[in-house]
Amino acid sequence: MLRHAESGAPSSRPLRVGEEIRHVLADALARGDLRDPALAGRSLTVTEVRMSPDLKRGTVYVLPFGSGDTAAALAGLERASPYLRREVARRVRLRVVPVLEFEADATFDQAARIDRLLRDVRTEPGDDGSEDEPQA
């Protein structure tokens, strides 16, 4: 009999673990426990955590609000990674605490770009939405 891993079907465990870790990280960021100067006074949202199939690595996608250097915020999160891993270890029951890698979430930028492109297509000159009628 085939198990999920052998059948090629993705397991839901990495999704569930990623969501639990997302909640832990979002809570830690909301409390403002991080003392890194690059993160002081910054509002960051954890949009997603994608776990590797073996649950040993997690890519944390964050979205910084307001102005500021995103690269500096990501560097601050990398420096705070040991503290955040301890928080994950304390609050999520796992055999191995995953290594956390931080990346800026670009999905909202991509969605805005697609929306802008679609809006431009709809408003091209001579395109009023009606089909051309044959001339008699």
DSSP state of 37: T
CB contact set of 11 (below 8 Å; sequence gap of 6+): 4, 5, 53
- Give the pLDDT confidence of 22-72 residue by residue, as tens digits: 999 999 998 887 888 888 778 888 999 999 999 999 999 998 887 667 898
Q: Is the dihedral of CA 46, 49, 55, 58 positive or negative?
A: negative
Q: How many residues does the chain have?
A: 136
Mean pLDDT over 106-120 rounds to 78
Q: Which domains, ranges and CATH numbers included, belong to the chain?
A: 4-122 (3.30.300.20)
Instruction: Quote the pTM value.
Output: 0.74
**Rounded distance, CA 117 to CA 66, Å?**
24
Terminal C-alpha separation, the chain: 70
- Whether the per-residue pLDDT at 76 is higher than 60: the answer is yes
